[in-house]
Amino acid sequence: PQVSQARALLPLLRLGRVDEARSHHLAGYRRVRGNNGTQEEVGLHLEFCALSRNEGRGLEILAENRPLFEATGAPLSHLAFLTGVEVLLARLVEDGHADTPVAGPAGRVWTARELAAHVRTEADRLSAAFDARNGTSAVGDLRRARLAQKPLLDAPLPLGLRTSVTRPVDASTLGGTAVTGSADGATPGSAPALDVPEDFVALVTEARNLARIGHPGG
């Protein structure tokens, strides 16, 4: 069911069946999280978060699925995952959050702008290779259609999720004021320098808070 749930997310949203879309996201994502065999479905959940204006939730999902950036063996599914990542990052950049820290391939700290460029290069390479092999533009056309989508709602779709922050982000790791709060609200300090550690909890906390409070993105 997780495959059909992921593929139904945007059609349900477009039909205004938001309760079903929410239910499919909450139930379906739990079944695909962190699974190399469901890269395409994770990408669809990321896309859903972007187009339902739940970018903060999308960043959390991105952090939970960081190992998928290194997944091999299913290039078409990997392309679908990368395209979902790019849809999410494009929303962040367009909304002025280009310097928001995000979870990307391990080994360095990424901003939304940097990861978007990295993902775009790899995804363009993969789609071009498929189209060259097949002698059509079908794979690239599908990718371009996904990237051209705009949010389907005027306000975030309530997902009924709340993640309490049990400890503040260490101010020394951010070069400024620590940010505390929850997924449903936070009190911003001054805009920090975005030097985020590899630590998962700090990464997710800061990413969600910045997306929720409207960080100016540099």
Q: What is the pLDDT of residues 36-82, one digit of tens each?
A: 999 999 999 999 999 999 999 999 999 999 999 999 889 999 999 99
Six-digit token string for 93: 């950049």
Give mean pLDDT, residues 128-156.
97
pLDDT of residue 37: 93
DSSP per-residue codes, 47-74? HHHHHTT-HHHHHHHHHHTGGGGG--S-
Name the DSSP class of 37: G
Burial class (CB in 10 A: 0-12, 13-18, 19+), 35: middle
Q: Is the pLDDT of residue 107 over 70?
A: yes
Task: Label residue 101 by pLDDT band (50, 70, 90).
Answer: very high
What's the whole-number average pLDDT of the chain?
81
Q: Residue for token digits 């395409």?
A: 40
Q: Is the pLDDT of residue 200 over 60?
A: no
